[in-house]
Chains A and B, each alone.
Chain A
């Protein structure tokens, strides 16, 4: 049998969830050791005997047996999860309690509680995201650092800081807690950041981006399985993830270069993911709640369901950006609004809208502000001005993919001048 892609990484979060239910979150490090040990055994057995019929079941069994062994040996010297401490003490209930922890529904609930625990208010958002990626998604510090273009030691510190806070807490977050709603909103925010990191990732590796987006979708769908978390705002977030990730493949061309929305091959957009996103957005719109996620998902839907750039409902997109500017204004939102105006009203009006943002310090550092100015100038027939703006943009590029893209645009202007 062949190994399915990312098998170990996917099983990792589930094993940790089951083991933490037995050992308690204060013994997270012990749970991680058991997982590591199960993987080592798998590596040694499978390379000789081949991959078993049910590899994740095999890993679960190894971890279960090891947990049983540890509890028997250490139940006097170590305190385990307070919820099950009594049942672990007696041989009569020990086996059943451990089996229960590895049952499908327990693993799901425990992953949810872990997700909520990772979003502890004492932790900053960047720590929350790193922690979720490490514990629930099985990414190591090096892999997270690669995706975030951050230093490995900085990420390792974030993870360590997060785990320290987790280990200090009396248990995993109780989903019946009075703070549930506030914590749910932090969880959504963390997933949003995780997804954005994947979608806009500065990382040159396309695979890294796909993985992050896929994990964000997996976790938001897990959240939707829990009735109290499945409200319109969470559904809107799930809709946004689907509608955006459906277009992920075509953002880069075969050579790994960025493609403009205009140039994207829309036949490569994933139609079934788009329709899932549209259904989720409809579900999210049943109440009166309108969140940032609703508006962003509606914008993504307008792009994803349009046959081409010309037949895109730019009027609706401008209106949505206007609403976004009233509830969550940011320079990037203002920039996107100006770009939509250039599509709706033509390059001259677009130029005015972009020019009005010229004083913004953040946009001055953002390569796609200069790139947007360049595109509008090009449409107005000012190739020389466009070329200068693309040069500015290329100088601000944050990675090789962006730089190649912007330099290519710049060269195209030079050809137009000659």
Chain B
């Protein structure tokens, strides 16, 4: 088994659209919980991860500290999870059920680097 990081990306508009009305928010919530639970039951969820605030600071060079990333930025990382899968193909396959895709967001699937000895 290998480990993969899911980075959940969405724009602010996609995030608002997924929210929509209270009833839509509830449905969206239920889909997320169902998807997460499935990953967990099938032993693929190593760590559910954490949600991230959409603002912070960006440090570049030694002096420059700027506000950001900007919320207008397309595809801001809003959270992450750590997944266990056979290979990248399976990790990609598992991500297809992620509700963020319905709202126009994306899942970035990144293999965790392994120490090959």
Contact = CB atoms under 8 A, between A and B. Distances in A.
Given A48-B48, A48-B49, A9 B36 contact: no
Interface of A: 3, 6-9, 11-12, 36, 39-40, 42-51, 138-140, 142-143
Contacts of B49: 48
Interface residues of B, number: 24
B23 A43 contact: no
B19 A9 contact: no
Contacts of B26: 3, 6-9
Contacts of B81: 48
Interface string B55-90: 000000000000000000000001101000000000
B10 to A, nearest CB: 10
Contact of B51 (A45, A50, A51, A143): A45
A9 B29 contact: no
A44 B33 CA distance: 11
B53 to A, nearest CB: 9
B25 to A, nearest CB: 5
B21 A3 contact: no
Contacts of B79: 44, 48
Contacts of B21: 9, 138-140, 142-143
Interface in B1-37: 15-16, 18-26, 28-30, 32-33, 36
Contact of A9 (B23, B30, B51): B23
B22 A42 contact: no
The 6 closest A-B pairs by CB, nearest first: A140-B21, A8-B22, A44-B51, A47-B32, A9-B22, A138-B22
Contacts of B30: 3
B41 interface: no
B42 interface: no
B19 A43 contact: yes
Main secondary structure of the interface of A (DSSP, over half): helix
10 contacts: A3-B26, A6-B22, A11-B22, A46-B29, A46-B33, A49-B48, A138-B23, A139-B23, A140-B21, A143-B23
A63 to B, nearest CB: 13
B51 A39 contact: no
A207 to B, nearest CB: 11
A46 B50 CA distance: 10
A140 B20 contact: yes
A51 B36 CA distance: 13
B50 A8 contact: no
B22 A43 contact: no
Contacts of A39: 19, 22, 25
Nearest to A10: B22
Contacts of B19: 36, 39-40, 43
Given A42-B29, A140-B22, 18 more contacts: A3-B33, A7-B26, A8-B23, A36-B16, A39-B22, A40-B19, A43-B19, A43-B25, A43-B28, A44-B51, A44-B78, A47-B36, A48-B36, A48-B49, A48-B51, A48-B81, A138-B22, A142-B21
A119 B21 CA distance: 23
A40 B24 CA distance: 11
Given A36-B16, A140-B20, A47 B25 contact: no
Nearest to A47: B32
B15 A40 contact: yes
B98 to A, nearest CB: 10
A182 B51 CA distance: 50
A309 B24 CA distance: 42
B23 A6 contact: yes
A270 to B, nearest CB: 24
A140 B19 CA distance: 11
A398 B36 CA distance: 42
A43 B19 CA distance: 8
Contacts of B18: 43
A42 B33 CA distance: 12
Given A36-B16, A46-B29, A48-B79, A140 B24 contact: yes
Nearest to B35: A47
Nearest to A138: B22
